[in-house]
Structure 1
Amino acid sequence: MPQPTTLADDLLNAIRIFPDFPQPGIQFKDFTPVFAQPQLVHRIAEHISAAFGGQFDRVLAVEARGFILGTTLAAVADRPLALARKEGKLPGPVFRTEYRLAYGTATLELQQDTLTPGERVLVVDDVLASGGTLAAAAALIAESRAQVAGFGVVTTIDRLGGTARLAPARVFSVIPEQA
């Protein structure tokens, strides 16, 4: 009889790696096979929710792959969802911050009336690499006068220093850190 697998094992078996995409030296983690398995996405959401023990008031999902995880997590945890989007995709007044990626720069925005001051916000994305995107999300939360409850990701790339960059906030990774 086969041994039961862990969530991390199931994810490692599903995530595809594309070397040198979108540019040389980047190991792109393709989550398409994960998202094709609704039960796997649901398990990720349950795992992240349990890790934070309900100690958050809202989920902030980061565009784009974080939207899938964040939507599921918000539903599992019965919390409202907020979206941090790339520049120019949100109407009305927005908070805006520019940040560096492992392979360039980008801008993240959040509608100004999305978060409530003092609200504890759990930020969700797929991969934590250098931490630029999640640090930008944290800056938007701070500008909204809300609080970062922590960061929930599927996997981290330890050698890029993202976890240290987000300290002292708690970072929970479903898959243990990878080199």
Structure 2
Amino acid sequence: MAAGGESKLQLLRSHIRAFPDFPKKGIVFRDICPILKDAAVLKAVIDLFEEHVRNSHQHVDLIVGLDARGFLFGPLLAQRLGVGFVLVRKKGKLPGPTVSVAYDLEYGKAEAEMQADAVAPGQKVLLIDDLLATGGTLKAACDLMRKMQAEVLGCMVVIELKELNGIDKVQPHNVFSLVQY
């Protein structure tokens, strides 16, 4: 990464707040709200994602954003790349025919879905979210793309919580993270 990239990463790191014991004791919540309220930092994040995509992927058809914070970064990146953006939502949030996959949560189950016509078979997609923790949601989105017969080029996140090993669940897909804890 060029020197400019390193300064952007430092700027990004300085705008991620840690809240110990939120939402429950023993968890350190990484807050991205300061990134979103500072235009220069938000631009730096999208610059870093764009640089990664342009250097690593010759052709991308769609950016796929995960509910809900992937919706914050995905459309900005898609616009920069000149490609479309589609949503992966929690079950019951999208109108019209949908396709869904079930996945396990720490205490229960959930479903991720997208509109049935959102991705065409063979389209090359990149998934984006704010955080990779245990990997359940990102894996479900990858499974949903496979069900839709799309080609997952990779996954991108602002923050990766390495000690939770979420990257293992997403294999064989590559995960690009800007910041790791």
On whether the aligned pair clears a TM of 0.5, the verdict is: yes
CA 1:79–1:14 in 2, change beyond 3 Å: closer, same or farther?
A: same
- Is the contact made by 2:12 and 2:44 (CA closer than 8 Å) also made in structure 1? no
Identity %: 37
- Matched residue of 2:35: which SS? helix
Does the residue aligned with 1:6 lie in a helix, a strand or coil?
Answer: helix
Alpha-carbon contact 2:167-2:175 (below 8 Å) kept:
yes
User: Over residues 75-95 of structure 1, what are the superposed CA-to-partner deviations in whole Å (9 max), with x where a residue is unaligned?
Assistant: 111110001111211011111
Task: Give the Å deviation of 1:169.
Answer: 1.2
Equivalent position of 2:76 in the other structure: 72
Determine the C-alpha separation between the residues in 1 that align with 2:13 and 2:176.
17
Task: Tell me the residue number matched to 1:15.
Answer: 16
How many residue pairs match? The answer is: 175
CA distance in 2, matches of 1:106, 1:44: 29
Q: How does 1:45-56 map to 2 (within 5 A)?
A: 45-53=46-54, 54=57, 55-56=59-60
Q: Partner residue of 2:25?
A: 24
Letter in 2 for 1:28: F
Using the alignment, how far apart are the partners of 2:120 and 2:44 within structure 1? 29
Q: Give the aligned partner of residue 34 of structure 1.
A: 35
The reply to whether residue 140 of structure 1 matches residue 111 of structure 2 is: no
> Where in structure 2 are the equivalents of 1:66-105 lying within 5 Å?
66-101=70-105, 105=109
Deviations 1:67-110 (A, max 9, x none): 01001111111110001111211011111122234576432111
Question: TM-score of the superposition, structure 1-length normalised?
Answer: 0.89
Provide the C-alpha distance between the structure 2 equivalents of 1:57 and 1:45, rounded to a whole number of angstroms. 18
Give the gaps of 5 or more residues in structure 1.
none
Superposition RMSD in Å: 1.9
The match for 1:43 is 44
Spell out, residue by residue over 1:38-67, the C-alpha distance to the aligned partner (whole angstroms, 9 max, x if none).
232222122112212243210000111110
Equivalent residue of 1:49, what SS?
A: helix
Distance 1:104 1:26 in 2: 19
1:30 Cα shift? Answer: 1.1
In 1, Cα distance between equivalents of 2:107 and 2:40: 32
Q: Secondary structure at the match of 1:83?
A: strand
TM superposition score normalised by structure 2: 0.88
